[in-house]
Amino acid sequence: MRREIIIFAVILAVVLTVGLYGRSLITGIAVSEIKNIFPGYDVSIGSAEIRNADMIAINGINAKKGKGLYYRIEGLEIKFSPLSLFTKKVPKITVKNSYLDVNSWNKKLQTWDKKLKDAIDYPVFRPGQGFMAKSITVLNFNLTLDTADWKLNTEVSGNIEIRKTPAGETEIDADLSTVPGNAGKIAISDEAFLKRLAENAKQPLAAIEDLKNFDFTEGTFQISGKPGSLLLHVTLKGLKGKKDLTFPLRGL
């Protein structure tokens, strides 16, 4: 009986400690991890505060690399529980008004001097390290690509669900749609990419070639599966008709 009382007392002490100091500790960890996923970037964060008993608000996140790569998140809300420090899991993250701008225009040469694959640099997420969110909601994500082989401008909102299977594997489900009233445009001049896309989507190249210059008024983007075997389902509606493509992300 004495052993059980001691264990209970230890657990109670831990819970009380987390309740008193854990929130500020989680805030510090969250800010540190945001900076860690952008190695080599100039990262600035406007503010980080405890908004209420179970939510941290981080505002004004800017990450820049060189002159042509810029990430911005106006608002990040992280829901947490007293056990988040131990489980390294948070129930939900909401990303509000975020931007990714990739531009390879060279003013001196007066041309685009890089292809997308050379101009973009993705955040570094380290599997097995840091905190994991069970659910991510994305509200108004604006993507602008302006490189030698890609032109894309669109704004989307939606949800991303990340969950663990009973076998311990990670599964991802994302459902994003273009924001009503915001038209988009895609122009892909990378012939090799278009050919791979046609092969992976099991469609004739002629059905894909409209993406060399395609204006759309509506679009949906659905991602599902496990890391390494994710499927992307894209629908785009425009004056040239509708595109409906499903293809694995791996291999593109």
pLDDT recorded at residue 182? 80
pLDDT recorded at residue 46? 93
Rg (CA), the chain: 22
The angle formed by the CA atoms of residues 214, 217 and 219, to the nearest 5 degrees, is 85
* Structure-model confidence comparison of residues 51 and 3, the more confident one: 51
* Structure-model confidence comparison of residues 233 and 110, the more confident one: 233
For 67-76, 125-134, 155-164, 176-185, which range has the lowest pLDDT when averaged over its residues? 125-134
Mean pLDDT of 88-103: 88
Task: Of 120, 134, 173, 180, give the one whose Cα is nearest residue 156.
Answer: 180
pLDDT recorded at residue 10? 46
For residue range 207-249, what is the model confidence (pLDDT) as tens digits? 888 899 999 999 999 989 887 788 899 999 998 889 999 988 7
For residue range 46-56, what is the model confidence (pLDDT) as tens digits? 998 888 878 88
Determine phi and psi for 71, rounding to 5 degrees.
-110, 140
pLDDT recorded at residue 20? 44
Residue 196's contacts (CB-CB under 8 Å, 6 or more residues apart) are 251, 252
Read off the tokens for 35: 């900076």
Q: Which range is most confident: 61-65, 103-107, 115-119, 228-232? A: 61-65
CB neighbour class for 117 (10 Å; exposed up to 12, middle 13-18, buried from 19): exposed
pLDDT of 252 > 80? The answer is no
